[in-house]
């Protein structure tokens, strides 16, 4: 099962398929990462708290 490169949480195959390039198996961040967000092709620290 794929896992988040940032926090190590497991993600679904569907999530990994949508949010990773074809040659990458594990996403860089996931919905459980409250401190990081995707910003285009990069990952950056969140500027404001994210609600859960």
Model pLDDT for residues 13-23, shown as the tens digit of each residue: 999 999 888 89
Three-state DSSP class for 7?
Answer: coil
Rounded to the nearest 10 degrees, how much is the dihedral formed by the CA atoms of 38, 27, 31, 49?
-40
Residue 45, H or E segment: strand 42-45
Q: Which domain holds residue 23?
A: 1-52
Tally of structural domains, the chain: 1
* 28-45: pLDDT as tens digits: 888 888 888 778 778 888
For residue 44, the model assigns a pLDDT of 84
């Amino acid at each position: 099962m794929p896992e988040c490169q940032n926090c190590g949480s497991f993600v679904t195959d569907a999530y990994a398929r949508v949010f990773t390039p074809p040659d990458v198996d594990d996403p860089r961040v996931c919905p459980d990462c409250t401190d990081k967000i995707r910003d285009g092709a990069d990952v950056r620290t969140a500027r404001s708290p994210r609600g859960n």
